[in-house]
């Protein structure tokens, strides 16, 4: 019987993840197709929604939670995120600066 409850919880996790992902993608799509904000705000909304959706995917589909079982995976992901932020941030700052100076 315990197995049945666990299975149902897991199915519900996937279903919730799927519905949230659809809603977030739909919202981002709508924000661009029917624009109601300034370009900068719309871009921020789209990127914000993408970030939330990435978290939803990691939580519901990739099963990364705060529980001990996935603690190592979580640490690896957070460290990789730090590396990515530094490398992407550095690249953007440098090359955008270069572009402004070349104009």
Partner 1 sequence: MSKTATEIEQPDAEQDDTALFGFWIFLMSDAVIFALLFATYGTMTQATAGGPTAAAEFKLVPTFIETLLLLTSSATFGRASVAMKYDEPRRVLFFWLFVTLGLGLVFLGFEAKDFADMFADGAYPSRSGFLSAFFALVPLHGLHVVAGCFWLIVMIVQVRVIGLDRRVKLNLLRLGLFWHFLDVVWIAIFSVVYLGGHIA
- Helical (H) or strand (E) element with 91: helix 71-102
Task: Map the footprint of partner 1 across residues 40-69, applying CB under 8 A.
Answer: 42-43, 46-47, 49-50, 53-54, 57-58, 61-62
Residue 16, CA distances (Å) to 32, 61, 73 in order:
25, 10, 22
Which C-beta is closer to partner 1: that of 31 or that of 65?
31
User: What is the SS3 assignment for 36?
Assistant: coil
User: Which position among 3, 5, 36, 100 is part of the footprint of partner 1 (CB under 8 A)?
Assistant: 3
- Of 65, 67, 24, 78, the closest CA to residue 48 belongs to 24
Q: Is 101 in the site for partner 1 (CB under 8 A)?
A: no
User: Which position among 34, 36, 39, 100 is part of the footprint of partner 1 (CB under 8 A)?
Assistant: 39
Asked if residues 22 and 32 have their Cβ atoms less than 8 Å apart, the reply is no
Asked if residues 64 and 22 have their Cβ atoms less than 8 Å apart, the reply is no
The residues binding partner 1 (CB under 8 A) are 3, 7, 10-11, 14-15, 17-18, 21-22, 25, 28-29, 31-33, 35, 39, 42-43, 46-47, 49-50, 53-54, 57-58, 61-62, 72-73, 76-77, 80, 83-84, 87-88, 91-92, 95-96, 99
């Amino acid at each position: 019987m315990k197995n049945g409850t666990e299975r149902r919880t897991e199915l519900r996790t996937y279903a919730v993840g799927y519905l949230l992902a659809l809603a977030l993608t739909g919202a981002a799509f709508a924000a661009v197709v029917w624009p109601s904000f300034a370009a900068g705000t719309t871009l921020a909304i789209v990127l914000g929604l993408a970030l939330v959706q990435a978290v939803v995917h990691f939580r519901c589909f990739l099963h990364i939670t705060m529980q001990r079982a996935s603690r190592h995976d979580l640490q690896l992901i957070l460290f990789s995120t730090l590396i990515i932020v530094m490398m992407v941030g550095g690249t953007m700052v440098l090359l955008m600066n270069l572009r402004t100076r070349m104009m």
